[in-house]
Structure 1
Amino acid sequence: MSDGTIVTLISIGVTILFMLGVPVFLVIGYWVIGMSFLLSLPLLNVGAALTNVFTDGFALLAMPLFILTGDLINRSGIARRLSDYAYACLGWMRGGLSMAALGACGLFAAISGSNSATTATIGSMLHPEMVKGGYDERFSAATAAAGGTVGIIIPPSIIFIVYGFLLNLPISDLFVAGIIPGSMMVLAMMSAAFLLSWKNKWGVLIGLSPVRILKTFIGAWLGFFAIGLVLWGIYTGKFSPTEAAGVTVGFCIIVGFICLPLYRLFGLSEDRSVEEKSFGEFFLVQGFSPIELPSITMRSAQITGILAPLIAVSVVMQQILSVLGAQAVISEFVTGMGGYYAVLFTAMAIVFVSGMVLESLPVTIILAPILAPIAHGVGVEPVQFAVIFLVGASIGFITPPYGLNLYVASGVTGVPYFRLLPYTVPYLVALITVWIVVALVPELSTALLPDR
């Protein structure tokens, strides 16, 4: 039996495992081990990759810290305050609560850097409120799933950290480059939500109240401070993304520890409505106790324990694909398409199709090192291509059959996966439109970069 036949059989076998629901880490791991035996590569290479994934990449240390940040702001009540502020600003419009959910996703993403955490947190908080407010439950779940896509575009972003690590690009530049495209994604999805809500007469309107807006703005000040702290520190160069993650975690822990005893001392409660609370109550959030910190940290560690091995085996997979000549084949195919726009849109098509069947992390690790040099060769600025690539990868979170955010939204809302699919279509159209605009207008990615 030829080596080519064996490669094909191994690839078909792991594809079947993936379709049967085997975790992506194991699927890639089985393929890597099989290829290592076939090519007589030392298995020590796999073990070294698993061991060195964080020790050799200082930037990757930011990933578990930002994951922990997301859990801390959710548990402390900061995420709820950000949602309340978004609703106070937008609730007077038709579809205001759905747009507020998307706005809250953008605000939460600006602290957590995770798509699944954004979808799970905002979905679990606002889906019941949307259903009570007269929205279709399928639309509500789809809104949470779509809103989570900005989790890896609006800085800080876990995937931007991985991309910068792989392509040796300044992560701070990548973070800054994601601000405008991420904001455009939120606004585009808000427009889609408004049109759908207006057509179907969904939502109960609330009055536009400057007092309510001011109260909720005061209540969200800790969230805005955390967002500003991260962006200020990275943009001014005061600290690296990894240091920024550490500073933000420290800030959230201090806030949680200080606010809880004060909240109890004054007999405050998050269950009361905005109108019932005084201005003074909004300066504090619910917080959490030191006893809760280990369980919060353990949850974040579990997520990191899923992502880190996946990065490691994907790096080895990338090396094996290089040995097999896959990179050369893809490069020849893409470059053979012609000039600047042909190469760019071919690369985008590859990312889009890959995102339909793979999570953004393996898509990034496997394809970015192949496509980025090709794009750079035809004149695409590396930071701009990073944004183009990752906006496309983020769209994959709501494209079946994989669509990770769809599964997360289904899990936290109880709406079956296939029932919410039709309501993702308007969001897909909005996101793809933004994606094309970002690809055609480089300044949207590079305008805020230093020295530009």
Structure 2
Amino acid sequence: MDGILITLISLGVTGLFIIGVPIFLVISLWVVGVSLVIDFTLANVGVTLYEGLNFYGLLALPLFILTGDLINAAGIAKRLSDFAYSCLGWLRGGLGMASLGACGLFAAISGSNSATTATIGGIMHPEMKKGNYEEKFAAATVAAGGTVGIIIPPSIIFIVYGFMMNLPIGDLFMAGLIPGILMVVAMQLVCYWVCRKNGWGVLQPFKVKHAAKMGVKAWLGFLAIGIVLWGIYSGAFSPTEAAGITTGFCLLAGVFVTREIRLKSLPTIMMRSGQITGMLAPLIAVSVVMQQVLSLLGAKDFITEMIGLLGGYYPILFACLLLVLLAGTVLESLPNTIILAPILAPIAASIGVDPIHFAVLFLIGDAIGFITPPYGLNLYVASSMTGIPYLRLVKSTLPYLYALMAVWIIVAFFPSLSLFLLSF
């Protein structure tokens, strides 16, 4: 009888998800409904909701979100984009490649996929339209570029993953650097190939003096990146402290150096960041409860047994990654991470996969989900930002999707790409 009720509840909340009910409410309804069926006390649910957020490391989450908004408001993101274009504008598709490079630079400060797409897209998409790029491809480029937001450190999802799996967040950040750079380079090569094939883009001659001038103008962005990377990797401060210091730096830079942030605009900027945090934090809390319920239902044991039947290192590893990718097509990265990581990470560890390496593989799969239908959050962001229908963007995104999957497979076969920097 319990199984029938749980199935009906699951079908019901799936229907709600399909018609557009927010994922937080969908998960919450499922948790409460199943908890009542299996006599999992609601008092324990309340305690777990609180304890799920009672973690010092999670303070970095709202701080890095605020940092992304401050970078945009202070004009730092625009300066980074201009520098990237000054270096790559001489190539066919150079503006698109510069957009992808700017996404990588922005990600090295903000740590958010959707924020990277929205910020760099808002700057570069109009310029790409003027530069004779197909509008759909231009939007697909900034959507794909945003995927590195959770891979190149700092990363909001790496913080959540480290919290869930009790892994050093600083080590996760370091492990994501080389794979993140590979993702950017792979997408730039795709952009060059597509644009050369179609003759898109307007070439501008490379001038060392101009590139140097743009680099000097972008010094605040480079300094912010340096603060984050040096502070975390040298051990001078924790990721949470790095988030606070970077937020403070970007605020002071915007108010006193670029002077593009007005004191009267701060409440609006902080409210926008608070709204994003207000969506993510409850989702983290309720997903922790969902883990407990799934554990009581035996989901972890069931998946472990099914995957274990495959036998062998690579069959099991790629089965885990396939589950991540499939979940990423219908779930946002946060619930995907919180629900699947505690189930799949122990399976990977049992066959000898390094936990840090698996974290990077898991989150690259998560990142690919940002441009994979039917969910593809970055595609929705790019669609709403440009006015191009979602389905029209999907085809233009496919070359980038193939490139990212190729990088994913390469990193899976060569763990040293994610673990190399940890040896120093």
Normalised by the length of structure 2, the TM-score is 0.99
Corresponding position of 1:279: none
| Alignment-mate amino acid for residue 73 of structure 2 | R
In structure 2, C-alpha distance between the alignment counterparts of 1:51 and 1:4, rounded to whole Å: 29
The aligned counterpart of 1:43 is: 42
Cα distance, 1:289 vs structure 2:
1.7
The secondary structure found in structure 2 opposite 1:357 is: coil
Residue 211 (structure 2) aligned to one of 210, 213, 216: 213
**1:372-451 mapped onto 2 (5 Å cutoff):** 372-451=345-424
Partner of 1:308: 281
* TM-superposition CA deviations, 1:315-336 (whole Å, max 9, x none): 1111100000000000111111
Residue 331 of structure 2 contacts residue 375 of structure 2 at CA under 8 Å; is this kept in 1? yes
CA distance in 2, matches of 1:71, 1:57: 24
The reply on whether 1:161 has 2:152 as its aligned counterpart is no
Contact in 1 for aligned 2:370/2:376 (Cα 8 Å):
yes
CA displacement at 1:209 relative to structure 2: 1.1
Determine the structure 1 residue equivalent to 2:104. 106
Q: Who is 1:89 aligned against? A: 87
SS of residue in 2 equivalent to 1:85: helix
The answer as to whether partners of 1:102 and 1:143 remain within 8 angstroms in 2 is yes
Residue from 48, 70, 73 that aligns with 1:72 = 70
Equivalent position SS for 2:263: coil
The structure 1 residue matched to 2:141, chosen from 143, 147, 164, is 143
What amino acid sits opposite 1:331 in the alignment? T
Letter in 1 for 2:38: L
**In the alignment, residue 274 of structure 2 is paired with which amino acid?**
A
> Contact 2:231 / 2:242 at 8 angstroms: preserved in 1?
yes
Deviation at 1:60, TM superposition (A): 0.7
CA contact (8 A) 2:49 2:289 kept: no
* Alignment match of 1:202 (pick from 194, 200, 203): 200
Q: For the Cα contact (< 8 Å) 2:74–2:255, is it kept in 1?
A: no
**Structure 2: distance between partners of 1:177 and 1:372:** 16
Q: Is the 8 A contact 1:53 1:308 kept in 2?
A: no
Letter in 2 for 1:115: N
1:287 shift after superposition: 2.6
Tell me if the contact between 1:257 and 1:290 (Cα under 8 Å) persists in the aligned partners. yes
Partner of residue 28, structure 1: 27
State whether residues 157 and 175 of structure 1, in contact with CA within 8 Å, keep that contact through their aligned partners in structure 2. yes
Name the counterpart of 2:321: 348
Residues of 1 paired with 2:259 and 2:25: CA distance?
40
Q: Which letter maps to 1:113?
A: G
Q: Distance in 1 between matches of 2:396 and 2:86?
A: 25
Q: Distance in 1 between matches of 2:324 and 2:221?
A: 33
Quote the Cα distance in structure 2 between the aligned partners of 1:48 and 1:143: 43
Structure-2 residue corresponding to 1:264? none
Q: What is residue 309 of structure 2 aligned with on the other side?
A: 336
What CA distance in whole angstroms lies between the structure 2 residues aligned with 1:424 and 1:399?
Answer: 9
CA distance in 2, matches of 1:391, 1:428: 12
Could you state the TM-score of these two structures normalised by the residue count of structure 1?
0.93
Q: Which amino acid aligns with 2:215?
A: F
State, as a whole percentage, how many aligned pairs show the same letter: 63
| Aligned position for 2:229 | 231
Provide the C-alpha distance between the structure 1 equivalents of 2:164 and 2:150, rounded to a whole number of angstroms: 16
**Deviation of 1:91 (Å):** 0.6
Q: Deviations over 1:234-263 (max 9, x none)?
A: 00111000000000011111112212xxxx
Asked if the contact 1:172/1:234 (under 8 Å) is kept, the reply is yes
Deviation string, structure 1 residues 330-385 (Cα, Å, up to 9, x no partner): 01111111011111010011101110010111110011011111111101001000
Give the superposition deviation at 1:178.
0.3
Matches within 5 A, 1:237-252: 237-252=235-250
SS in structure 2 of the partner of residue 449 of structure 1: helix
Aligned length: 424
> What's the secondary structure of 2:327's corresponding residue?
helix
> What is the distance in 1 between the residues matched to 2:353 and 2:388?
41
How do residues 273-312 of structure 1 correspond to structure 2 at under 5 angstroms? 285-312=258-285
Distance in 2, Cα, partners of 1:287 & 1:44: 48
Tell me the CA shift for residue 48 of structure 1: 2.5
Deviation, structure 1 residue 52: 3.2
Match of 1:19 in 2: 18
Task: Confirm or deny: 8 A CA contact 2:121 2:139 kept in the other structure.
Answer: yes
Give, as a single letter, the amino acid of the residue that structure 1 aligns with 2:339: I
Are the counterparts in 1 of residues 49 and 288 from structure 2 also a CA contact under 8 Å?
no
1:300-329 Cα shifts (integer Å, max 9, x gaps): 000000000001111111110000000000
Q: Which runs of 5+ in 2 are unaligned?
A: none
Partner of 1:273: none
Correspondence for 2:179 among 178, 181, 198: 181
**Counterpart Cα distance in 2 of 1:66 and 1:323:** 34
Following TM superposition, by how much is the alpha carbon of 1:210 offset from its aligned partner in structure 2, in angstroms? 1.0
Amino acid at match of 2:133: Y
Q: Paired residue for 1:280? A: none
Q: Is the 8 A contact 1:151 1:157 kept in 2?
A: yes
The residue identity in structure 2 corresponding to 1:94 is R
CA contact (8 A) 1:255 1:287 kept: no
Q: Are 1:360 and 2:333 an aligned pair?
A: yes
Unaligned runs of 5+ residues in structure 1 are 260-284
Q: Secondary structure of the residue that 1:21 maps to in structure 2?
A: coil
Name the Cα RMSD after superposition: 0.9
- Displacement over 3 Å in runs of 4+: none
Read off the aligned partner of 2:63 and give its amino acid letter: L
Q: State the alpha-carbon separation in 2 of the partners of residues 108 and 410 from structure 1.
A: 20
CA contact (8 A) 1:96 1:205 kept: yes
CA shift for structure 1 position 450: 4.5
